[in-house]
Amino acid sequence: MPRYHKPRRGSRAFIRKRADGIRVRKRGLRLGEPTPLGFIGFKAGMTHAVVVPLDDKGEPKREDKTIMPITVIDAPPLVVLGLRAYTMTPYGKTVMRESRRLPDPNDVVERTAGKFYYTFDGDVKLEEREVDEERMKFLKKRPLKERTDTYLKDLERRIRYPKKEGKPARDEERFSKRLKELFELAHRVEELRLIVGTYPRLAHIKKVPDIFEIGIGIRPDATAEEVREIISNRAARVGSFLFPDEVLKPGEYVDAIGITKGHGFTGVIKRFGVKRLMHKSRKKVRGVGSLGPRHPNAIYRTVPMPGQYGYFRRVDYNKLVLAIGYDGEMFVEGEPGQPSAIKSITPAGGFKHYGIVRDGYILVKGSVPGPYKRTVVLRKAIRKRLKPEEKHYKILDLPLLPVKKEVGSV
């Protein structure tokens, strides 16, 4: 007798429930790193790249070149709007203190460069420190002051903030008061998160920003003084811009969290992959053969049924970050015998259903959940890889992308 093997249709590991909205919640956090643990961008599209693996010394092994599919994520800077602290109670984690501040065009460049930090000795004081000159030059090339004024108008479409004489009120005294309370309660802090807003206007998607929380890593055994130091550095960044290279690095692994493409109400053929019945079946062909036995008088939850398909919250674990760049362009060395060039990260004619990537971008190996223009959260990977990646890659060429300027020959 032949052995029949017919696995059940549809995995019970995934919840087939429509997501609450486009704004994705980031549930898991990785502890131990006092830095933001994720970034938010918009899916622009996919292309492919010619890559070579790097050896232990970081030198490219050109004989092992291969073609790799990549996803381009448009990543304009985020705006840090506040700092929120959580504490553990008998009912779970609860917001303990929150300190918010709107960006100010007069000091947004200095705050973004990390020029300030807060000190606490019974009172909160704002101190200055030296900043990296290269970083300062990079920031001064960008119109951050003009972008701040535009962002405040867009933010008013999302939230209502207090005004003074027709302008947004930046209550420094209130911010310092809440910050002082947070310093005093540092021993009770269980988790710290940044309140950030996206800047979709720079991606030419929409005007209204979305508000998210990004976790800040704290070791479980961190002392109160260590927590105060983290609060001091992160509170000084409230009211500034956060760029992708401050959070992620090439060669790092991330988890891509997004909302998948929605298909609406579908049948069991599309939703579960059930096989069609024979053409002479009674009443139905595109359905299940039986809903179950007569007794017990109920339909099991394992029986495929029609319903919502797509628009689900999904996490794609351990995606490799290949490159991070700005101004929508990238330097590539080219293959042997070809000149090096600066290439546009956008294909000729723009990405289908998206357009042109004009600002920062992140290149990720493989695909990520969701259609074009949808928000994607890149969280630092929280799972250990079953088999660690044996090598990192260097991009030699982006064949489908146009050349902006030839630099020389290799």
The domain 38-76+248-262+313-409 is placed in CATH, from the list 2.40.30.10, 3.40.50.2300, 3.40.50.880, 2.60.40.10, at 2.40.30.10
Q: What is the pLDDT of residue 410?
A: 44
What the block records as the tokens of 341 is: 């060039």
Show me where the domains of the chain are located: 38-76+248-262+313-409, 78-242
Cα separation of 97 and 185, whole Å?
9
Cα separation of 131 and 115, whole Å?
6
Beta strands in 210-267 (DSSP E): 211-216, 241-242, 253-259, 264-266
Kindly indicate whether the domain formed by 78-242 is annotated with CATH number 1.10.8.60. Answer: no
DSSP string covering 302-350: TS---EEES--EEEEEEEEEEEEESTTEEEE--STTSEEEEEESSPTT-
Cα separation of 241 and 256, whole Å?
22
The dihedral over CA atoms of 223, 226, 227, 233, expressed in degrees to the nearest 10, equals 180
pLDDT by position in tens, the chain (length 410):
677 777 777 787 788 888 888 777 666 666 667 889 999 999 999 999 988 888 777 677 767 888 999 999 999 999 999 999 999 999 988 999 888 888 888 888 888 888 888 888 777 787 888 888 888 888 888 888 899 989 988 988 888 777 776 666 677 788 888 888 888 988 998 889 999 999 999 999 999 999 999 999 888 888 888 888 888 888 888 889 999 999 999 989 999 999 999 999 999 999 998 889 999 998 899 999 888 888 989 998 888 999 999 999 999 999 999 999 998 888 888 777 777 888 889 988 889 999 999 999 999 999 999 999 999 999 999 887 766 665 688 888 888 888 877 776 44
Largest CA distance in the chain: 87
Classify each residue of 140-165 as buried b or exposed e, where b means 16 or more C-beta atoms within 10 Å of its C-beta: eebebeebbeebbebbeeeeeeeeee
pTM for the whole structure: 0.90
Helix axes 172-184, 224-235, angle to 10 degrees: 160
Q: What is the pLDDT of residue 168?
A: 66
Q: What is the pLDDT of residue 287?
A: 92
Cα separation of 95 and 176, whole Å?
18
Cα separation of 352 and 342, whole Å?
22
